[in-house]
Amino acid sequence: MLNEKEYDRVAAVTYAKKWALSRNPLFTDYAGIGGDCTSFASQCVLAGSCIMNFAPTFGWYYINSERRTASWTGVEFFYDFMINNRNEGPFAVSAPLSAAKVGDVIQLAKENDWYHTLVVTKIENQRVFVTAHTIDVIDRPLDEYDYEEARLIHFIGVRYKNESSCFAPLLEGTELRL
């Protein structure tokens, strides 16, 4: 039986703003090999959930660069996991951009290719601001990006078997608690 808790949006945003312009040494930097944006979003979501899903086929986890899921680093795989997850870990729904809250994730597409993952870190006067890696930014207005489509991954909560506290060591880059 799984328990549910709230997704900690403040923790996700705090992590995003701390590590937006640098790299947490606990994680591989994928910027030179396809992009680090989805890995960075995964790190932020982990900060807000403190729960990974270690299912070998359809999970969401990072142990090291060789032992991670495609959903940790791949734009489409991240979306599929978060929207369809019915087991342990964070879970979300696809929602209109107008429903965005801080800590949610937005993905961008051009020519039907979903290519970028961003973390919502501020909403001001109905304007959405995002933080991301690959091209590192903090609180960049979403409307300054060049894209044809955007989709919102709106977090509902986190399912877990055993409560975990990972935020402080994750934020400081000292320990990845599995």
Task: Calculate the average pLDDT of the chain.
Answer: 95
pLDDT above 90: residue 164 = no
**Predicted TM-score (pTM) above 0.85:** yes
Domains: count for the chain: 1
- Alpha helix (H) ranges present in 20-110? 37-49, 70-73, 75-84
Distance (Å, rounded) from C-alpha 106 to C-alpha 103?
10
Residues 6+ apart with CB under 8 A from 40: 16, 19, 20, 117, 119, 132, 133, 134
In a domain, 63, yes or no: yes
Any idea what the Cα angle at residue 138 is, between residues 132 and 141, rounded to 5°? Answer: 90
In a domain, 44, yes or no: yes
pLDDT above 80: residue 140 = yes
In a domain, 105, yes or no: yes
CB 51 within 8 A of CB 148: no
* pLDDT band, very low/low/confident/very high, at 167 (cuts 50, 70, 90): confident
Distance (Å, rounded) from C-alpha 100 to C-alpha 84?
19
- Alpha helix (H) ranges present in 20-73? 37-49, 70-73
Q: Is the dihedral of CA 120, 124, 128, 130 positive or negative?
A: negative
pLDDT tens by residue, 49-69? 999 999 988 999 999 999 999
Domain span at 36: 3-172
pLDDT of residue 22: 97
pLDDT above 90: residue 162 = no
Distance (Å, rounded) from C-alpha 18 to C-alpha 130?
14
* pLDDT band, very low/low/confident/very high, at 168 (cuts 50, 70, 90): confident
pLDDT of residue 1: 84
pLDDT above 90: residue 123 = yes
In a domain, 178, yes or no: no
- Residue 68 φ then ψ, to 5°: -150, 165
In a domain, 22, yes or no: yes
pLDDT of residue 75: 98
In a domain, 177, yes or no: no
Distance (Å, rounded) from C-alpha 84 to C-alpha 58?
10
pLDDT above 80: residue 165 = no
